[in-house]
Structure 1
Amino acid sequence: MRLLALEAVQNASYYQSRYRQIEDFGSELFVLNGLGEPDYWPAPRYRVAGSKHVDDIIAAAKSWHAEQRFDGVLTFSESAVVTVAAVAEALGLPGIGVEAARTSRNKLLMRQAHERAGVPRPRFRFAPDVSVALAAAEEFGYPVILKPTLGAASNFVFRVDSPESLTERFAQASAGIAQMAWYRMEPDGLDLGPHGLMIESFLDGPEFLTEALAWDGEVYLGSVVDRVTVEGDTFDDDVHHAPTSLAPDQLAAVHQVITAAAHAQGIRRSVMHAEVRFHQGTPHLLEIAVRPGGGGLDYFARISAGYSPIEVLIDVASGVRPPVRHYRPTGVHTAGTCLISAPGRIEQINVPAAVTDSDRVFFFKITAKPGDVIRRPPHGNNILGFLCTTGKSFDDAIQAARELAEQIDVQVSNRDELVGAFGDHKGEG
């Protein structure tokens, strides 16, 4: 199986470990970046188009496809899903189509599709200026959620509880999204829909993350993970647990709302990372991304549910129906936390052997490096990485994760430094 992975702009080395998993599962992976570093992937299976314009990326992909005859094209990046759809169409390979990809990438277009189909969702309003945002918040009632239409990884997503807070956060987010890495990594030459901010009504219940598959009208939930973070006015997305605490009737309701939302977004055959939040006892759709979840969620899925999102992605990209089943937990408890430091420029990261050699750790990844600037809300949402552990219960697993995380020593300087890009290289959920 020969597969082509794409990014319009390379996201540092963030996806390399998942690229290696694709090869570990038996496929031969080629990597094409519109803009990227030399020697990022082994030659001769790596090329850089030299441009992030979609026409140049398509031309480079066509030329390479004529030589290698790829079986499929894929990405792990939220910022590349529309690019992949356009390249797949141009190469005549399996894909979800540009329209479905755009609807699944742009949060406003996604909400509008859910609204037309009657999918349970938060109330929403596109806010081209703060006066529209304030009017929407007054109509919906505080608290409300402020978020970018083309965001990722919770960058510039705020819960706001008053008009004064909304005015402040709107100014911060408006300045930040123009420089946000996830937006700058999008291709040129493609219509991505409105780029701006939107207001959503607040959903008051717990949140659940799923790894799922849509195949010819049927939706399979392969993995369900509880998000158990205590939230403030920002969303750090830092604590997860599986197997889920959902009761069978709640799980059935989650499956129903994800199925309806996938159909509304025009998703026919795709891997999906779907997020659902309960409100007054009923699941509401937060979003469906047409890629596997990041931050170790593929490991959560394999260990806690016997579901392999990356293997499913390999099959779907090549047009083969994966051998999947509906959610069936294994009984193994897993917990994970984002590694978060003080803001500033990283001078040094010291990870002791007690962390790297622990038999409790099933996923550990440092995504930052010395020299990187760590931004915390409201200026961005950078993290150091991820640490995930197993245990006899959730409490046992998360206690192990926290104890191990405390042993990681991070030294930062210039804590008030605000140079460089906003929101760079935080891992996607």
Structure 2
Amino acid sequence: MKLLAVEAQQWAQYLFPRYQLVDELGGDLHLLLGVGDPDYWPGRCRVAGSASIDELIAIAKAWHAVEQFDGVLTFSEMSVIATAVVADALGLPGIGLDAARNSRNKFRMRRAHQRGGVPIPKFRFVPDLPSALAAAAEFGYPAILKPTLGASSSFVFRVDNPAQLERRFADASEGIQRMLPFQLEALGVDIGPQGLLVESFLDGNEYLFEALAWDGELFIGSAVDRVTMEGETFDDDVHAAPSTLSEDQLAEIRDIIAAAAEAQGLRRSTMHAEIRMHHGRPHLLELAARPGGGELHLVARVTAGYCPIQASMDVARGVRPSVRHYRPTGVHMMGTCLICDGGQLEYVVVPSEVSESEHTLRARILQQPGATILRPPDGNNILGFLVVTGDSHEQTKQRLEDYVDLIEVKLAGRPAGRSKTPWARLRPVAPAS
């Protein structure tokens, strides 16, 4: 199968392993970049030289006339809208522009969920500080401040009082204009309002799902527990599988994701869903029209026997993926985003006892020497990912903690130290039965 992947603007090397996996799974992947490096995917990459949607469409049409692609896909949150437009222009399967906007812009997403009766936090688009203060006063503190076009928890803040909201509103208003998730969007296409939302706070645990919608059926392919508690800011921090959710809870969550998919207009799509409990009941945080980020696709394969990448390849060419309802394989996993303080990175050393361990599912460093690491409230850069496996929850937790402590990090002007993860905020989670 010949597939065209789209990145409106190249997202560094972040998606490269996924492109490799497409080839390994039998695809012949070609890559269309609006702005990027033509040598990123040698021999099968074209660069439009502009993030303009019209330029992307023109290049895609000319290339399709020669290659006759079977489908168009993206693994980038920031290219969901551009990909929908390109697929439509080529006459290939896609989710459509309206569904793409609903799945990318958090304000449009919330309004769609509201119309569909999906349990979600209270929300309001807040164009200025007075409206933000009024919304938070109405919803109650703590409240959440977040961008409409964010990703990776960039400029998402928990605020506990009006003074804190005033400070964070200034940080976020300035930050969303320069944050990477916004800068990597295609140009010349309506992506919905760029701004901030105030939402009511949901007080319970969070869970991540890889899911598939296909002609009225909704499948949960994998489920992962978030096992750390956030503070004032939100990191993609520590996750564990198999999930501790009960069958009844999973059934209720499946109905919620199905209703959200219908509300967003997602008839055939791979999806990443985030659910948070509130007063013991599940509420939807977001439903993205692409596989989950980081290493969640690997976690799904190993712990649940579901491959979101393979499913995306099938959906892109209009073929129903082979999928079953969530069924854990028995393998335990725990993964973390590696973080460090802000500053200029000199080096990261991952010792072979970590990188080559039979228990390491993935040890990947994203940042290159010389990179500037931004941490909240200035940004939300991470060093990379570490995912390990084991025979039990407690064994896997201890292994991840030990391996994280072995990774050395050096920032300019500071002594060498260790990578870290917010273990002090680890939720007390019992091993899954």
TM-score norm. by structure 2 comes to 0.95
Residue equivalent to 1:3: 3
- The amino acid that maps onto 1:149 is T
Residue equivalent to 1:427: none
Alignment of 1:384-399 (within 5 A): 384-399=383-398
Residue equivalent to 1:271: 270
Alignment of 1:85-164 (within 5 A): 85-164=84-163
Shifted more, 391-400 versus 57-66: the winner is 391-400
Please identify runs of 4+ aligned residues in structure 1 that moved more than 4 A: none
- The amino acid that maps onto 1:266 is G
Residue equivalent to 2:237: 238
For residue 403 of structure 1, report the CA deviation from its aligned partner.
1.0
For residue 395 of structure 1, report the CA deviation from its aligned partner.
2.0
- The amino acid that maps onto 2:39 is D
- The amino acid that maps onto 1:39 is D
Distance 1:37 1:112 in 2: 37
- State whether residues 116 and 263 of structure 2, in contact with CA within 8 Å, keep that contact through their aligned partners in structure 1: yes
2:31 paired with 1:40: no
Distance 1:350 1:362 in 2: 18
Residue equivalent to 1:167: 166
- The amino acid that maps onto 1:300 is V
**Partner-residue secondary structure (3-state), 2:124:** strand
Unaligned segments of structure 1, at least 5 residues: 416-429
Residue equivalent to 2:302: 303
C-alpha change, 1:259 and 1:148, in structure 2 (3 Å) is: same
- The amino acid that maps onto 1:28 is D
- State whether residues 351 and 409 of structure 1, in contact with CA within 8 Å, keep that contact through their aligned partners in structure 2: yes
**Partner-residue secondary structure (3-state), 2:89:** helix
Distance 2:332 2:303 in 1: 7
- The amino acid that maps onto 2:145 is L
- The amino acid that maps onto 1:15 is L
- State whether residues 214 and 270 of structure 1, in contact with CA within 8 Å, keep that contact through their aligned partners in structure 2: yes
Distance 2:392 2:288 in 1: 29
For residue 294 of structure 1, report the CA deviation from its aligned partner.
1.4
**Partner-residue secondary structure (3-state), 2:387:** strand
For residue 326 of structure 1, report the CA deviation from its aligned partner.
0.7
- State whether residues 355 and 362 of structure 2, in contact with CA within 8 Å, keep that contact through their aligned partners in structure 1: no
Cα distance per residue 1:132-166 (max 9 Å; x no partner)? 00000000000001000000000000111000100
Distance 2:6 2:38 in 1: 15
Distance 1:296 1:398 in 2: 17
Residue equivalent to 1:255: 254
- The amino acid that maps onto 2:129 is V
Distance 1:282 1:196 in 2: 29
**Partner-residue secondary structure (3-state), 1:178:** helix
- State whether residues 32 and 47 of structure 1, in contact with CA within 8 Å, keep that contact through their aligned partners in structure 2: yes
- State whether residues 304 and 328 of structure 2, in contact with CA within 8 Å, keep that contact through their aligned partners in structure 1: yes
**Partner-residue secondary structure (3-state), 2:178:** coil
- State whether residues 229 and 237 of structure 1, in contact with CA within 8 Å, keep that contact through their aligned partners in structure 2: no
- The amino acid that maps onto 1:102 is R
- State whether residues 333 and 397 of structure 1, in contact with CA within 8 Å, keep that contact through their aligned partners in structure 2: yes
Distance 2:302 2:205 in 1: 22
2:328 paired with 1:342: no
Residue equivalent to 1:29: 29
Distance 1:277 1:374 in 2: 29
**Partner-residue secondary structure (3-state), 2:377:** coil
2:211 paired with 1:216: no
For residue 38 of structure 1, report the CA deviation from its aligned partner.
3.0
Distance 2:22 2:38 in 1: 21
Distance 1:200 1:398 in 2: 32
**Partner-residue secondary structure (3-state), 1:278:** strand
Residue equivalent to 2:279: 280
Cα distance per residue 1:194-234 (max 9 Å; x no partner)? 10000000001111100000000111000000011121111
Residue equivalent to 2:427: none
Residue equivalent to 1:197: 196
For residue 76 of structure 1, report the CA deviation from its aligned partner.
0.6
For residue 273 of structure 1, report the CA deviation from its aligned partner.
0.4
Distance 1:371 1:76 in 2: 27
Cα distance per residue 1:331-359 (max 9 Å; x no partner)? 11110011001110101111211111111
For residue 414 of structure 1, report the CA deviation from its aligned partner.
6.0
Residue equivalent to 1:328: 327
Residue equivalent to 1:383: 382
- The amino acid that maps onto 1:268 is R
Cα RMSD of the aligned pairs, angstroms, is 0.8
- The amino acid that maps onto 2:30 is F
Residue equivalent to 1:17: 17
User: Aligned residue pairs: how many?
Assistant: 414
> How much identity, in percent, do the aligned residues show?
59
